[in-house]
Structures are given as C-alpha cells and as structure tokens.
Amino acid sequence: MARTVGEVARLTGLTVRTLHHYDEIGLLVPAGRTEAGYRMYGEAELIRLHDILVWREMGIPLEEIARLLDDPGYDMTTSLRRHREQLAARATEIERRIERIDGLIEKADGGMTMDDDFLTELFEGFDPTVHRDEAQRRWGSTEAYEVSRRRAVELDADEWRRIKREGDEITEGFARLLRDGVPVDSEQAARLVKTHRDHLSQFYPVSAEMHRGLGEMYVDDPRFQETYDSVEPGLARYVRDAIRAVG
C-alpha cells in the first residue's frame, strides 16, 4: 500500500521538509508520484527509511548512511563495530570531562576565584590569555570589546557554568539539525541562529553583521572549525551557512 509523504511523516515523526530533503539528496527516493506530483512511498521505501532512522539514531551522518545502504558490499557487522569504537572513544572523552567538571564544582563551592587558572580548566585547554590578547588586537578599540571585558570580570562560577552549558546545548542543537539533514534555511535552523546570537549577546551587543562575521570565523579559523567539527563533521560550515541564511 503506497503512502503519501504526509502519511509517512505522521508515521515516523519526521517533518515533510526532512523527507523532501532526503529525496533531494538521493537518500530516500519515493517509489513514484501522483498525477498531481505528490510523492508516494511503497514498502521498500519504508523499510529503507527504517534503516536510515536506525543509523541516524546512532549519529551516522546522512552521507555515510547513503553510502552504506547503496554499497553492494556493505557489511553491517563491520560498520557497527567501527561505529562502536567511535562511540566508545566519545564516551571516554565525556567521562573525562565529567570528572573535570566535578573537580571544578568542588573548587567553586570552596570559594575559588574566577582567575585564569580556573578558566583554563573550565574550558578544557582553552588559553584565555592567548585569546584575550588576540581579541584585544582585533577588537580592542571597539565598545563591544570593552563591554565584554567588563562583563567577563563580573561573572561568578555559577554564571560561567550556566553559560557554558547553554553554549553546549546550542552546539548540540545545530549538530542534531545537521545529522537530521535539516536545511540551513529551515525554520528550525533560523530559531537556533537567533538563540545563538542571543547567547553571545550576554557578553556584548551582537549585530546581524557581527554575527555573520563570527560565522565566517568559525570556518576560516582552524581552531574554531576544529571545535565545531569535533562535535559533528561539517558542523562549523553548517553553523556558518545557517547564520548566512538568516541574513
């Protein structure tokens, strides 16, 4: 029994826009179309969609899912083992970060001041002195720089933790959109771009032009690109393009 794209969306919880995107990139091509041009999906397409969702749930990028499903020599066991190794490595890194944060919580509760040593630990290798000097060279004469400098000094440990947690949630939000194949010009991406800009504006007023400039830096500066792409391959470019799309 063939089903319309709307019916498949209701069955799976996906959006119609996502299914359209899967068709456009060749990941899930409908069995045919009605005379009116509506996409129709048969049993084979629904089975393939099930496999797509299983792989996507495990964090496999859409491009790799397409290669896996279309490769005649595809071996699920080998692919699963490789992905398990990747997840295990990520789990080890997450555990290390949790231990570091637990230690920082103890220090903060003990009244440790927000000095450079604390910030270095909080941001796991981020060197505030290097970036502070670079920021001063690039934007030291601007009002935004002075506002952000004053604001950073005023923040206490709880506020820094909150800001870092919010930033991580925003980054993971972008990563989910990328993994789900959500276009950069979608409503979901636009909402997250606004949330990202509001998050940055806690330190200094971020204009649309400044936000676009930051987006370009995420791709042009290897350090920023590595930070984003370590969460999800291609994430720096996705965030940049989503900011561009908002205009």
Per cent of the chain over pLDDT 90 is 24
Is the Cβ–Cβ distance between 41 and 2 less than 8 Å? yes
Q: Tell me: the pLDDT tens digits for 134-147?
A: 444 444 444 544 45
Is the pLDDT assigned to residue 204 strictly greater than 70? Answer: no
What six digits make up the tokens of 151? 């604001």
Find the range with the poorest average confidence among 14-18, 136-140, 172-176, 209-213: 136-140
Distance CA 106, CA 112 (A): 9
Domain boundaries, the chain: 3-74, 113-246
Higher-confidence residue of 150 and 246: namely 246
Burial tier of 241 (Cβ tally within 10 Å: 0-12, 13-18, 19+): middle
Q: Which CATH class is domain 3-74?
A: mainly alpha
Q: In the predicted model, is pLDDT for residue 6 greater than 70?
A: yes
User: Partners of 33 in the beta sheet?
Assistant: 39
Rounded to the nearest 5°, which phi and psi values hold at 111? 90, 15
| Token pair belonging to 118 | 């604390």
Arithmetic mean of pLDDT over the chain: 78
Range 202-231 average pLDDT: 82
Is the pLDDT score of 153 beyond 60?
A: no
Fold of 113-246: Globin-like (1.10.490)
* Exposure letters 96-120 (e unless 16+ CB within 10 A, then b): eeeeebeebeebbeeeeebeeebbe
pLDDT of residue 22: 92
* Location of structure tokens 């690039």: 138
Query: In what helix (H) or strand (E) does residue 22 lie, and over which residues does it extend?
Result: helix 16-24
Distance CA 188, CA 205 (A): 23
> Is residue 107 scored above 60 in pLDDT?
yes
Whole-structure pTM value: 0.47
DSSP 232: S
